[in-house]
Amino acid sequence: MYVIGPRPPVKAERVDLVPLVRRGFVYTESSDAVWRVAEPARRWEPLRAKLVARGYRVAQSYIPPSVRAYLEGGRRPELGGGVAAVHLAGGVWRWRMGEERGVGCPPARYVAYWGRRPRCGGVLVDLRLVYRRGFWIEAAERFGDVWLLKAWRGDPGDVLDALYLLAAEAVRLLEAFSSVTGVGVDAVLEVLETNSAAALAEAVFHFEAERRGYVVEDSRRSFDMPYFDMARARSPGVYRRVAELDFKSLFPSLVVKYGVDPTTARPCASGLEAGVLGRYCFDGGPVADVVGRWLRRRLGAADRWESEALKWLMNAGIGAWGKAGWGMICEPCLLAVRAEAARLFDEAWRLFSPIYGDTDSIYVEERRAGDVLRWAESLGGLRLELKRVWDVLLLAPARGGGAAEKNYVKMGAGVWEVKGGLLRPHDLPLAVRLRYRDVVRAAVEGGDPLGVAVGALLEAPPEQLFIYKAVWRRRLAEVKKATPLHVAARHFAERCTCDPVDVFYLPGRGVVYVPWLALGGEPRPAALEEVRRAAVEYVERLWKFHALGLAS
């Protein structure tokens, strides 16, 4: 952590760095001294508030010193060594590492857990730092909805299996972060305990600036960033043989193409539009150079996890220019990149009338894909790729007319993707969620999607009549107006020490069903057929099925 200004009232030593301080929306050189704070990192948060209140400027106040040890070369990342997951059940720690299983502490470099921290050696990986929604939800997203039936069973062996699959995935991503940044996995995890991938990216930005003799002030944004969304659709319906074209790392590519960098941003008459701030010019700098290095690496990356880590770092680092907290803020930088992306999007829409478009993706009839690719070749510095040709693209209708924003289904060659809260099956009873592909297929083929859903419920075993959700206890404590989900969550929270709380519930008319009670006033027993009828009535009320029917 650095302090910019006169000698601060804390343990600190003066260093030979030029401070870049925020004046308005740009950074300028200052003649003030720069001091490296020698206080323990645990005191940095209160120290920052105290120093800022006294008129000092600070830098790198949110980056753990463990990160610097790697960036300076004092430590080197160690990768590999095996991954294990551990789970406490019945007072015994059980582990899985590949096909091996045992009790106690596993012989692995990485020991992943969820909830209670084990007393084991190696690098301890709290999976909640990577997965924010609950491990059953994450397992279902990645490995199939049948994992939610295992959530119902709650068998310790199933828990351990889910944890291991997620742990193996998480460690590959964490090691990719480490490989890309040169920061060890232990330090990456320390960043994620209190921050996001953006802070890791910013640490690398700061270090590159420092290597060039500068220290960049931490600041906060001057105004709330305007809402940004470029989703557009032609009209709701079912389209066939649709080409999906995707700009590879659009925002990072624009940063590199125009040299967008917080340290050199300045108003000018001939620069990029930066929204309400007018036009800005940029002359590159440490941040643009780091993004350029990462971009080149991603464009050539063969490894999926390396590509994913680079995508996270670049997008998070750029997005952090407009974040709410402390950081390397640069509103004109972010607004300029957004505006240029929007200009390209408008041009594509004017030239090709796409079926659908969303920020960096364009969907057109298969026969028009070549025209779009040739247009992209003229842009310079940007790469547009034909990602896939889909057999079917279904755009859902909105309640108020037109296509619902960011709600679609893509199907082709055995692959299918569902996006958007309106169409995703997250709010459906498990029986319908497990057969949701059949529901969508009925819509695509002109059938009765609601009929398929009702049929699934009428045939379903009892445990599949409920919706599954994971609710964090801290969120539950903040709720002021309880929904049916929160009523059920409180019921389950009183009966376990888990976090998040696994909730199986079904909204009824005036009651909330849980296995096998009706909550509302005084809880009462609920018979199977009563719950089944309530499940059918619930799906009949959902706009989701009406939207699917209208789209077909």
Rounded to 5°, the CA angle 172-174-176 comes to 70
Residue 231 confidence (pLDDT): 82
Residue 401 confidence (pLDDT): 82
Report the candidate in 129, 169, 134 with the shortest Cα–Cα distance to residue 148: 134
Residue 287 confidence (pLDDT): 97
CB 303 within 8 A of CB 175: no
Report the candidate in 147, 125, 150, 126 with the shortest Cα–Cα distance to residue 138: 147
Whole-angstrom Cα distance, residue 95 to residue 92?
10
- Label residue 196 left, alpha or beta by phi (over 0 means left) and psi (-120 to 50 means alpha): beta
Q: What burial letters (b/e) apply to 44-69, b meaning 16+ CB within 10 Å?
A: beebbeebbeeebbbbbbbbbebbbe
Residue 552 confidence (pLDDT): 66
Residue 358 confidence (pLDDT): 87
Report the candidate in 210, 216, 211 with the shortest Cα–Cα distance to residue 28: 216
Residue 350 confidence (pLDDT): 94
Rounded to 5°, the CA angle 540-528-469 comes to 60
Q: What burial letters (b/e) apply to 265-300, b meaning 16+ CB within 10 Å?
A: beeeeebbbbbebeebbbebbbbbbbbbebbeebee
How far, CA to CA in Å, does 187 sit from each of 66, 207, 328, 348? Answer: 6, 15, 20, 42
Q: Which residues of the chain have pLDDT under 70?
A: 552
Give helix 436-444 / helix 449-459 axis angle, nearest 10°.
150
pTM, to two decimals: 0.91
Whole-angstrom Cα distance, residue 88 to residue 94?
6
Helix (H) or strand (E) holding 287: helix 286-299
Residue 414 confidence (pLDDT): 87
Residue 477 confidence (pLDDT): 87
Report the candidate in 49, 36, 59 with the shortest Cα–Cα distance to residue 262: 59
Residue 226 confidence (pLDDT): 81
Whole-angstrom Cα distance, residue 526 to residue 518?
6
How far, CA to CA in Å, does 244 sit from each of 357, 420, 518? Answer: 9, 17, 47
Whole-angstrom Cα distance, residue 508 to residue 362?
41
DSSP-derived 3-state class of residue 32 = coil
Report the candidate in 185, 189, 167 with the shortest Cα–Cα distance to residue 175: 185
Backbone angles phi, psi at 127, to 5 degrees: -65, -20
